[in-house]
Amino acid sequence: MTDTPLIGIIMGSTSDWDTMRHGADILSELGIAHECKIVSAHRTPERLYEYAKSAVDRGLKAIIAGAGGAAHLPGMTASMTRLPVLGVPVESKALSGMDSLLSIAQMPAGVPVGTLAIGVAGAKNAALLAAAIVATSDEALAERLDAWRRAQTDAVGEDPKG
């Protein structure tokens, strides 16, 4: 694993970490250098600006952005970088993540955010999708990703009683 992060995982609050750490775990399993940071569209807008504007020059290949409620983080990030941005709707207390999902998915044409499922499944799949993006130009990673998928398949037994 090189030290330079290829994938950035950002989230609006420390309260999102319980969800987003599942994506970070998968990137670690796949041996992909990554970084995890709190970057809030509402509470730290200047940090978001610096993060998104510097992402290409710092060598990131994709950004995973998780947020809940009025989840502007993925969309605002996508507005300031040409890198692929994968949005993870974090499950909110008030509306169970439907607010997060719609905030992230309903982007205006021209500023795309790849929107994943609400919660842990979304965080895991964002990591796998980011890995697949990087694997298009990294043969060794492509082989690790294929092996990861084979292991998942092999772990599915046929007998529902175990």
User: Binding site for substrate: what residues are annotated?
Assistant: 13, 16, 43
Nearest to ligand RP5 of 19, 125 (CB atom): 19
Look-up of token digits 């987003």: 20
Name the phi and psi angles at 16, rounded to 5.
-85, -15
Considering the complex, what minimum distance in angstroms separates the CB of residue 90 from ligand RP5? 4
Question: Amino acid identity, residue 44?
Answer: T
CA 66 to CA 119: how far, in whole Å? Answer: 9
CA 23 to CA 68: how far, in whole Å? Answer: 16
Nearest to ligand RP5 of 13, 79 (CB atom): 13
Nearest to ligand RP5 of 74, 114 (CB atom): 74
Whether the Cβ atoms of residue 92 and residue 99 lie closer than 8 Å to each other: yes
Q: Rule CB under 6 A: which residues touch ligand RP5?
A: 11-13, 15-16, 40, 42, 67-69, 90
Considering the complex, what minimum distance in angstroms separates the CB of residue 118 from ligand RP5? 11
Considering the complex, what minimum distance in angstroms separates the CB of residue 12 from ligand RP5? 3
